[in-house]
Amino acid sequence: DQQVKQNSPSLSVQEGRISILNCDYTNSMFDYFLWYKKYPAEGPTFLISISSIKDKNEDGRFTVFLNKSAKHLSLHIVPSQPGDSAVYFCAYRLGGADGLTFGKGTHLIIQP
């Protein structure tokens, strides 16, 4: 039973355009969401996070939006760059000692 779903296994976007990665969750008790990026042969790298008390968090080219009524999380990357090509995971965390729960990931491909 997937509690965090990333329904698009892959996404292709032209360089310079906006990339939008989506994530749906089931439990309204989740209170902290994160996005990680993973290159081949490397561990996941933290990108950006958002608390459930907010609906938007921005860091440079990356913005995360949280729609609690729809139980939907999205990551916007503007403008997309070739180095953004990677697998992106959304994740949540319930409590302090709890580990992260990840979605299956979306493979973002930035086309030149």
- Enumerate binding residues for other proteins (CB under 8 A): 4, 31-32, 36, 41-46, 49, 51, 89, 91, 93-105
> Nearest distance from residue 55's CB to other proteins, in Å?
18
| Cβ nearer to other proteins, comparing 99 with 112 | 99
The b-or-e profile of 96-107 (16+ CB within 10 A means b, else e) is eeeebbbbebbe
CB 17 within 8 A of CB 79: yes
Pairwise CA distance, residues 8 & 108, whole Å? 10
| Cβ nearer to other proteins, comparing 8 with 101 | 101
| Cβ nearer to other proteins, comparing 13 with 23 | 23
